[in-house]
Amino acid sequence: MTKFLISFPASAMDVPADDMPAVAAASRAVIREAKTAGVYVFGGGINAGIAPVMVAPDGGCTAGTHPQTREFDGGFCVLELPSRDVALQWAARLATACRCAQELREFHYDPES
């Protein structure tokens, strides 16, 4: 089984405030289904209220991010699935629930992780 990251940036979710409770309920329902199916690994949303820091190899910390991840925010989940086709189906379910496109990425297999 392969682990897949399904995610979206916060800016992709352009939903009226009145619709957010329905979107939250729909997306939570899909996550409950993934848990029931035994494919859910973990998920959540990036807390935009806490600034990221860079941790250097020597342990030193500085404020900020890698330039290419400056806009990393939004929601994500990791599912462990038998194929990319199945991952596409779960991503489509989440896209419908969240009312925004989802990005699908496959984790590289590492027997130590």
Of 1, 41, 19, 32, which is closest to residue 100 (Cα–Cα)?
Answer: 19
Total structural domains in the chain?
A: 1
Residue 11: predicted pLDDT = 86
Q: Is residue 62 part of a domain?
A: no
Residues contacting 87, CB < 8 A, separation 6+: 2, 4, 6, 79, 81, 104, 106
Task: Evaluate if residue 22 carries a pLDDT over 90.
Answer: yes
- Would you state the pLDDT for residue 25? 96
User: Which residue shows structure tokens 């404020």?
Assistant: 63
Would 52 be classed as within a structural domain?
A: no
For 19, the domain range is: 2-45+73-106
Residue 35 lies in a domain: yes
Confirm whether 36 is domain-assigned: yes
The pLDDT of residue 101 is 94
Confidence bin at 10 (pLDDT 50/70/90): confident
Mean pLDDT of the chain, nearest integer: 92
CATH number of domain containing 20: 3.30.70.1060
30-82 pLDDT, tens digit each: 999 999 999 999 999 888 888 889 999 999 999 988 887 767 788 999 999 99
Q: Does residue 101 sit within a domain?
A: yes
- For residue 15, being part of any structural domain is answered with yes
pLDDT at 9 over 90: no
Q: Tell whether 56 is covered by a domain.
A: no
Distance, CA of 97 to CA of 88 (rounded, Å): 14
Q: With respect to residue 17, please indicate whether it lies within any of the assigned structural domains.
A: yes
